[in-house]
Amino acid sequence: MIVFFHPNTTNTQKAELQLHLKQAGFESQLVQPKDICIVPNLKDAAAIEKFSFVSSTKLIDTSYQLSSLEYKKETNFLVNNNQVGTNFVNFIAGPCSVETEEQIFETAALLAKHNIPFIRGGAYKPRTSPYSFRGLGKDGLKLLQQAAKQYKLSVVTELMDLSLLDEVQQYTDVIQIGSRNMSNFYLLSELGKIETPIMLKRGIQANVQEWLLAADYIMCGGNENIILCERGIRSFDPLSRNVMDVGVIPLVQSLSHLPILADPSHGTGEAKFVAPLAKASLVAGANGLMIEIHPNPKKALSDSRQALSFDEFENLMADIELLKPTIKKPINATYSVFQ
């Protein structure tokens, strides 16, 4: 249940309500910026009807509350001048890792040429092996921002650890939380205290309820500018890096107001499978795609097998142009059919 307060309700009154709930056996969570209180296990508003400063309640019969479709019907927000959210389709593209100035500026030029507003790139990389390339760190963030500024793009990059938050915030427009950190609940709670939009990737073995509860951790701090990203889940099949769960896209949209993007690059792990799954995701209703591209995929320092070449990426975007009649939401970029 979500409890809404009358304007000018004091902190003392809110604390009084929380004490009453605790004595009755109910845990509660104040969301200060929204002036509401979340009481997940409370089903009957009669338990708090004596508190005159409570204006209304909303019963949400799921463990996740703020990410529920019952809380609100849609989420839309601006990243710079680009509309993002439930009602739009956006594209994000770029290399797995920022490697060189030439690489990231070539990529930015390609995206700007085709009016794709978001560039992605990793500066701090979570790698399974400590001996793999782990990014350029702050130098990579600077290159990414410089390229984005020159070509009027918005930056999406991953935050690995809370200790890097201030640094990453200086150089990015959307903070990506990778699958390994979806269950880093302290980190998620701290991200609720900032205004920077968050792209929350599904954990590699997370179910939908766990994913939406992770989003609630952020929203409990007041930050509702969240994008979910399906990036594939681990399966028993050794021939597939991950299972690209296209079916989760309409499922999440039936449960949550948060926009959901698809990342078929990580979802498949093979460049030759990226385009089919990207198109399937859009037809399934995704609010956008995040695609890994590289000027020379064979020389990429990370995830080379799943990166599309520039030509392959342009061919994919030309195919998406043909799919536009089947995509009910407006695509937030303007394309001509590529030559």
Task: Determine how β-strand 29-31 pairs with β-strand 36-38.
Answer: antiparallel
pLDDT of residue 54: 95
Q: Hey, how many other C-beta atoms are within 10 angstroms of the C-beta on 27? A: 12
Is 82:154 a contact under the CB 8 Å cutoff?
yes
Mean pLDDT, the chain, whole residue set = 94
Q: Which among 158, 162, 301 is positioned nearest to 231, based on CA atoms? A: 158
Length of the chain: 339
pLDDT of residue 333: 62
148-160 confidence digits (pLDDT tens):
999 999 999 999 9
- Cα within 13 Å of Cα(193), Cβ side: 7
pLDDT of residue 132: 83
Q: Hey, how many other C-beta atoms are within 10 angstroms of the C-beta on 19? A: 11
Q: How far apart are the first and last CA of the chain?
A: 54
pLDDT of residue 334: 54
pLDDT of residue 339: 37
Looking up tokens 């949550």 gives 256
pLDDT of residue 126: 84
Is 325:308 a contact under the CB 8 Å cutoff?
no
pLDDT of residue 49: 86
Residue 111 is given by DSSP the state H
64-89 confidence digits (pLDDT tens):
999 999 999 999 999 999 999 999 99
**Regions of the chain with pLDDT less than 70:** 333-339
Is 121:104 a contact under the CB 8 Å cutoff?
yes
pLDDT of residue 300: 93
Looking up tokens 């529920």 gives 68
pLDDT of residue 88: 94
187 torsion bin: left (phi>0), alpha (psi -120 to 50), beta (else): alpha
Residues 6+ apart with CB under 8 A from 289: 91, 92, 261, 262, 263, 264, 278, 281, 282
